[in-house]
Structure 1
Amino acid sequence: MTMTLKQYLKPNTAVRPPVPSPEWWTPTGRSRGKRHFKFASKASSRGVAIIDDTAVESEARAERKGTLVLRARPDTLRVVEQSPQVEYVDANGVVHPHTFDLTVFRTDGKKIAVDFKPAAMVKRSGIRELHAVLVRQISPRTADQLLVLTERMYTRADLYNAELMHAIAREDFPKDDEIVLKLIRRMKGPASIADLVSRSKLGGYGFNATVRAIAAGHLRMTQRRLIDYSAVVIPAGTEG
């Protein structure tokens, strides 16, 4: 189909002004990790995710996935990769260093030191045995709990939701968020995301604002499932 110049220049109503520009880009915070590595690697998938306006490095795809899943939890305040760094003494009296893959800072003030491992490699890696040694020597001020996280400990829905919240959290539409927050304050019980979007009169932008409300802890899902239009949500702190 041939398009006329007038049709080509017609504003795209699906994209809100102003159009994003690299001139408005704000540098993110530097990684807070205690250990860094080269990103050029043929053996692993290394990269950086911008989480809470801070660069969070990952040495493998499993680390990135696990980090996003843990950050998406409502009881997580923030995360710092490649930390904490500790030393431990083995059975022969030799001192060794160990850097955890992630520290999870929870809303209740507790800190969880996490190591990521593929489920198939946990046994032969000896990571659980190492954690058994570390838990007896690590200071409570460093971590309240040690965790070995594998891909079997979260669902595909958990990962999908985490990646969705991560992607949408970077959008900045405060007026949309305020409209959805007003709807949340008026809620008397559970409601579908589709209903909230309809009442917001924001279309797809209303869906994104609802996802941000879930990520910010204003709403919670009533079931452990995919975040989509048919999902049912309820204001955080409400029974149901």
Structure 2
Amino acid sequence: MPAETINLQSTRLPEIATAFRPSAFDDTYLHSRATRAIPRKSPFHFVTQLTFFNSAGKSQALGCASLLEHNAALCCIHLPDFRDIEEQVSRIMVRTSGVRPSPYWFDFRLTLTSGKRIAIAVKPEKERATYEFRRKLGVIRSVAVPEIADHVHVISERNINPIRLARAKLFHAARVPDPERDLFVRSELAGMDRPRSIREFLDQSPVGREGWWSVIRAIRAGIIEVANCEPITEHSIISNPGAA
């Protein structure tokens, strides 16, 4: 996973985003696959659990022990070649100091559609940059590959592009389909004769502002295009693939 310069910052959704938001609740979701317990709450830092659709279309729970882990997971889930992500996968035994090996758990293991497995350690930049951590990581990598992964990567706040994070949050909020509305909006999008802003498209469409999330899903699916260099807002210009 390539490193990218990162500056975490929140992105405010446009007002039209509140017009319609399908429920993402699923009481039959698959529970966390973590092999080590993740705290359910902490008075000192952020902990949470999110769900994503697995390759079978089922909601899968994923535990995150920090805000940084949550943001890293979202960016992974919405990669174009994403297949699966697991948290706190099976431990490996490594000898980082002394003579006795000790257990180590990676925060995540990302699997791509190619089958490539990437073990991910999520660390604050101030820890990632230390000599001691880099030394330990070299030992850990030598055991992890190929035992539990094909590659090992470290994600810090410097590796999360703020635009990619903002888009991942938006795509995740829009992940639950609305089949009838989505189909109608996509037929309207196919008939666009020129690029236009999302707001202009919705204002001219019979579906109105309630089509916001359907447009976001169409962008996520690659049905329409939008500039990659900016967060998606109501002012973003959309066009059909190949349009001038």
Q: TM-score range by the shorter chain?
A: 0.7 to 0.9
Correspondences of 1:1-240 after superposition (within 5 Å): 26-52=27-53, 53-90=59-96, 92-124=98-130, 126-140=132-146, 142-170=148-176, 172-183=177-188, 192-194=197-199, 196-198=201-203, 200-233=205-238
Q: Residue type matched to 2:161 in 1?
A: T
Percent identity, aligned pairs only, is 24
- Return closer, same or farther for 1:198/1:74 CA change in 2, 3 Å cut-off: farther
SS for the counterpart of 2:180 is helix
- Is the 1:157–1:225 contact (alpha carbons within 8 Å) kept by the matching residues of 2? yes
User: What is the aligned partner in structure 1 of residue 13 from structure 2?
Assistant: none
Deviation of 1:48 (Å): 1.0
| TM-score relative to the length of structure 1 | 0.75
Deviation of 1:174 (Å): 0.8
- Return closer, same or farther for 1:71/1:25 CA change in 2, 3 Å cut-off: closer
- Return closer, same or farther for 1:195/1:77 CA change in 2, 3 Å cut-off: farther
Q: Residue type matched to 1:204 in 2?
A: R
Deviation of 1:67 (Å): 1.0
Q: Which has the larger radius of gyration?
A: 1
- Is the 2:145–2:152 contact (alpha carbons within 8 Å) kept by the matching residues of 1? no
Which has the bigger relative contact order, CA under 8 A and spacing at least 6?
2
- CA offsets, 1:95-148, max 9 Å, x none? 221111111121222111111112222234843332222222224362122111
> Aligned pairs, how many?
220
- Return closer, same or farther for 1:129/1:180 CA change in 2, 3 Å cut-off: farther
Q: Distance in 1 between matches of 2:29 and 2:211?
A: 26
Q: Residue type matched to 1:105 in 2?
A: T
- Is the 1:101–1:116 contact (alpha carbons within 8 Å) kept by the matching residues of 2? yes
User: What is the aligned partner in structure 2 of residue 6 from structure 1?
Assistant: none
- Is the 1:222–1:234 contact (alpha carbons within 8 Å) kept by the matching residues of 2? no
- Is the 1:74–1:217 contact (alpha carbons within 8 Å) kept by the matching residues of 2? no
Deviates more, 1:89-98 or 1:113-122: 89-98
- Return closer, same or farther for 1:165/1:125 CA change in 2, 3 Å cut-off: farther
Q: CA RMSD in A?
A: 3.2
Deviation of 1:176 (Å): 1.7
- Return closer, same or farther for 1:115/1:200 CA change in 2, 3 Å cut-off: farther
| TM-score relative to the length of structure 2 | 0.74
